[in-house]
Every structure is written in C-alpha cells, then in structure tokens.
Amino acid sequence: AQTVTQSQPEMSVQEAETVTLSCTYDTSENNYYLFWYKQPPSRQMILVIRQEAYKQQNATENRFSVNFQKAAKSFSLKISDSQLGDTAMYFCACGDGATNKLIFGTGTLLAVQP
Amino acid sequence: GAGVSQSPSNKVTEKGKDVELRCDPISGHTALYWYRQRLGQGLEFLIYFQGNSAPDKSGLPSDRFSAERTGESVSTLTIQRTQQEDSAVYLCASRFGPSNQPQHFGDGTRLSIL
C-alpha cells in the first residue's frame, strides 16, 4: 500500500519570496510517479509538476521545482518568486506504474501575502 | 469543451435517496478515475476504468457505491441509499496514454446529504 504524508497543514510566504512544501511517501512499488497538484478555491485540481521515480534529475517547471530524495522517500516542492496567484491548497500524490491511481496527502494550504 | 466535464456541479438530496453523478472525460482518454474529497481532506481513490472495464474498484467504500462506463466515454457513479457521511466533493479525472502521463481533473460534484 502507498501512503503520502504532508506535515505542514498551512504555510505563508511573502510575495516574491521562496517557499518549500514538504512531502514524504511510502510505497512498495519499484515503478511509481510523483505529482504536485494545486487546488485553488475554484476546486479544480491543476497539475503543477511531476517526477518519474526512475529519473534522478529533479523536475523543474518555470518557478516550480522539486527536491526528490528517493532513498529518503521525500518529494518537496519549491516555489520561487511567489505570486499572489499561487495561493491555493497544494497536494502531493503518488501513482503506481500500472494503473497510476493516485494516493494523495492531506494537503498544505499556502497563502501568499502581498 | 476541451476539459473533463462533471454534472451536476452541486447536488443536495435527502438521506436514503439514490444519486447519480456523471463524468464526461476528455475525448480519446481511455483511463478514467473517480475520487472523493471530504471537507478539508485530500482526495481518496474510488475506482479506475481502462476503457469500459474497471480493473481496480478497491476504493469503493461500500456496496452502496457503484460505477459504470460506456462507449469508452461517459462514466456514472451511483450511490444508493445515501448517508450523511457520503457528503463530499466527487472528482473525476481522465488520462491519455501510458500511466506516467498526468490525470486531468474535472471541477467535481459537491454532494450534500441532508
């Protein structure tokens, strides 16, 4: 069974600053994928970034990057140059290689302050 | 539209009634997923479809819950004899291609049981 843990229920950051959201996971799968999704008040789940477990290089997507530590089963998200529009709930998720059903953490509510 | 469409957007019903929730995935997406999100929590996996078959139903919480998919397109999630604990947002997602590809989510149906 897979589990995903997000230990920060809420975070706050000043506009233009950098913030890191933590995520740890546990899985018995050898082939799996990791994702960060953003959920603004509109309720829609928006993909932020994804990482394939077999790739050592950390994924980056514009202002978003991850620190993937496979041995430690850690997958943190770094947001640089935070913008007001980044205010949302952020969910870390792990998908198995066969079906990619996603197991989600409980989320981190990020507030970007002007 | 180009995205995953769910209907209704909101549904209020009395305890004990049956409800049907609908999901129209993105055209051509063969994989379809249903998740449940209780208030203030992360998403819980319910069921996964590949084409019209459901190889993974492990997340359905009880036999009151069922889902089907026809024509490798529309899916309906049915909850019979609704209970107050069924109140949640039900999200549908679809995916194209191999399992490392991201899931695209709809806006969900907010179900409230009185």
Distance from CA of B19 to the nearest CA of A (A): 21
Please tell me the distance from the alpha carbon of residue B113 to that of residue A94, in angstroms, as a whole number: 30
Residues B35-63: pLDDT tens digits?
999 988 889 999 999 999 999 999 999 99
> What pLDDT is stored for residue B1 in this prediction?
52
> What letter would DSSP give residue B80?
-
Give me the domain span that covers residue A25: 3-113
Please tell me the distance from the alpha carbon of residue B20 to that of residue B26, in angstroms, as a whole number: 20
> What pLDDT is stored for residue A18 in this prediction?
98
Percent of chain B whose predicted confidence (pLDDT) is above 90: 87
Domain residue extents for chain B: 5-98
Contacts of B54 (CB under 8 A, 6+ apart): B47, B48, B67, B69
| Run of H or E residues at B35 | strand B31-37
Does residue A34 belong to the interface with chain B, where contact is any CB pair within 8 Å?
no
Question: Mean pLDDT in chain A?
Answer: 94
Closest CA to B106 of A34, A91, A89, A43: A43
> How deeply is B86 buried, as exposed, middle or buried, from its count of CB atoms within 10 A (0-12, 13-18, 19+)?
buried
Q: What HEC string does A20-88 produce? A: EECCEEECCCCCEEEEEEEECCCCCCEEEEEEECCCCCCCEECCEEEEEECCCCEEEEEECCCCHHHCE
Q: Which residue has tokens 């994924």?
A: A59
Chain A residues close to B41, C-beta within 8 Å: 106-107
Phi and psi torsions of B25, nearest 5° = -75, 175
> What pLDDT is stored for residue A109 in this prediction?
96
CATH for the B5-98 domain, from 3.40.640.10, 2.40.37.10, 1.10.580.10, 2.60.40.10: 2.60.40.10
User: How many structural domains compose chain A?
Assistant: 1
- CATH for A7: 2.60.40.10
For residue A27, what are its two tokens?
């899985």
Phi and psi torsions of B86, nearest 5° = -80, -10
Interface A–B counts its CB contacts (< 8 A) at 65
Mean pLDDT along residues A8-12: 96
Q: Which residue has tokens 């790739």?
A: A55
Chain B residues close to A103, C-beta within 8 Å: 45
Chain B residues close to A96, C-beta within 8 Å: 99
Closest CA to A92 of A29, A34, A51: A34
> How deeply is A35 buried, as exposed, middle or buried, from its count of CB atoms within 10 A (0-12, 13-18, 19+)?
buried
